[in-house]
Amino acid sequence: MKRYLVQTFGCQMNVHDSRRIEEVLDANGYQPADEPAAADVIILNTCSVREKAEQKLRSMVGTYKGLKALRPDLVIVVAGCVAQQEGEKLLRRVPHLDVVIGPDNIVELPMLIEHMRDGAAPIARTVFDTEAPTFLVAQPRPNAHEVTSYVTVMKGCDERCTYCIVPYTRGPERYRAADEIVGEIARMAHGGVREITLLGQTVNSWHSQGAGEGESEFPALLRRIAREVPSLARLRYTSPHPRHLTEALIDAHAELAVLPRHVHLPVQSGSDRMLKRMLRRYTAADYVRRVDALRERVPGLTLSTDMIVGFPGETDEDFEQTLTLVRRVGFVSLFGFKYSPRPYTPALKLDDDVSEEKKDERLQRLFALSDELQTAHLASLVGSRASVLVESRDPAGPDRYSGRSERHELVHFDAPAGVDPRGLLVEVDIVDAYKHSLHGLMEGGLPFAPPPPKRSPVRLPVASA
């Protein structure tokens, strides 16, 4: 019996790709292994957006050198963005590595493994499918109590932000047909999935080739999913670009009950000078106008974001403008990163003149402000009631479960004895706030029913970037 082990580094896109790797191997007679020593194939699915992910990969690959020496028939694979970025160079640098495979070549993995078993030389397959894009289809796992899952709607990126390697590792934007997207979501919902997150590097830039007028935008896709898959409890998406937070998308958030009251909207900096150097193509004021319009239409909506500190040329004043934006918007959480030079990016031509000490200091100040805002937000919810989509058992106790509110807060709660509410929307009374989550009490399990439609608010203008 052939066994595999997949280890994942990086973002939700990588988590989604790892699942596709598992499904491709499952379909070819493989079964998952519990530990490296029990695996015939070890796949390291990588991210290259941040330098630390690459460092972690190099360390992990190194730990398997001894195992490979003891078991020469073990096949070691590097997949994902680092694989796409480095290609055959990885094979030259790591002699015990067998296969390097890019995100668009996952379907070829079983064949490449068998070639290695037949004595073939180590191989790198990193070919983009730009001429005929393909998308691996997720399959429901009803026996796994899978409540949330991901569906890819597009891949690649045309934005060309100066710090970002994604256009190089994922290629140009390619869009999946709406029929395929809706069909996959319907199958997942039929298999018990209650929440879908639509994935794409700039997910809200999605459009359908050849669609009729008014039917080709991302908001139209959201409306179609809501209409044709009414059993879906929640529909999220990541990661959107602020330029594509249009009036039509704000309308969808105001009118579709399936869209939660939370959006993750990366801004990267609060300094217009830095945003221009990053080639983000909006100003801080543009960003604020758009999120203000969204919040006006969807009361109580929360926002999270991504931030980069220490980008080349960032001054103390630039960083203070970032802190000002964070306070102004009131992000309930954020992912902060120190700028690190990435291969093949335009920012390499800029002088990285911010010291590591300064980057560390700014990142800690950013996190301190974020923690302050999150603590205040969570404390304000004590005494309120939240609608929680129950995702999993909580190891803290036999009747303890965890899930997310519609504002995306993590909620731990105690269910009545003998009640298993996984996959249900339940009402939870919030009784306590922790550093990053909430604790509540559930009076009784409520069977899932599609939520009522939202009110139809007055349209507000959104300034274009």
Residue 12 sits in a domain whose CATH number is 3.40.50.12160
Specify whether 450 is located in the same domain as 463.
yes
pTM (two decimals): 0.86
Specify whether 175 is located in the same domain as 244.
yes
Q: 407-440, pLDDT tens digit by residue? A: 999 999 999 888 999 999 999 999 999 999 999 9
Specify whether 364 is located in the same domain as 386.
no
Q: Is residue 133 part of a domain?
A: no
Q: Is residue 135 part of a domain?
A: no
**Boundary (domain end) residue, out of 380, 415, 447:** 380
Specify whether 182 is located in the same domain as 322.
yes
pLDDT at 402: 96
Specify whether 231 is located in the same domain as 294.
yes
How many other C-beta atoms are found inside a 10 Å radius of the C-beta of residue 464?
11
Q: Is residue 121 part of a domain?
A: yes
- Quote the number of domains for the chain: 3
**Domain CATH number, residue 440:** 2.40.50.140
**Boundary (domain end) residue, out of 380, 399, 427:** 380
Q: 72-102, pLDDT tens digit by residue? A: 999 999 998 888 988 999 899 889 999 999 9
Q: Is residue 137 part of a domain?
A: no
Q: Is residue 353 part of a domain?
A: yes
The residues facing 99 across adjacent strands are 77, 123
Specify whether 310 is located in the same domain as 368.
yes
Specify whether 118 is located in the same domain as 156.
no
Q: Is residue 334 part of a domain?
A: yes
Residue with tokens 């509110």: 405
Specify whether 285 is located in the same domain as 393.
no
**Boundary (domain end) residue, out of 90, 125, 160:** 125
Specify whether 57 is located in the same domain as 168.
no
Specify whether 226 is located in the same domain as 78.
no
Q: Is residue 132 part of a domain?
A: no
Residue 449: domain span = 381-465
Specify whether 232 is located in the same domain as 365.
yes
Q: 243-286, pLDDT tens digit by residue? A: 999 999 999 999 999 999 999 999 999 999 999 999 999 999 99
Cβ contacts of 385 within 8 Å, gap of 6 or more: 427, 428, 429, 430
Q: 368-421, pLDDT tens digit by residue? A: 999 999 999 999 999 999 999 999 998 888 889 999 999 999 999 999 888 999
Q: Is residue 131 part of a domain?
A: no
**Domain CATH number, residue 209:** 3.80.30.20
Specify whether 182 is located in the same domain as 45.
no
pLDDT at 68: 92
Least Cα distance to 232 among 302, 138, 135, 148 occurs for 148
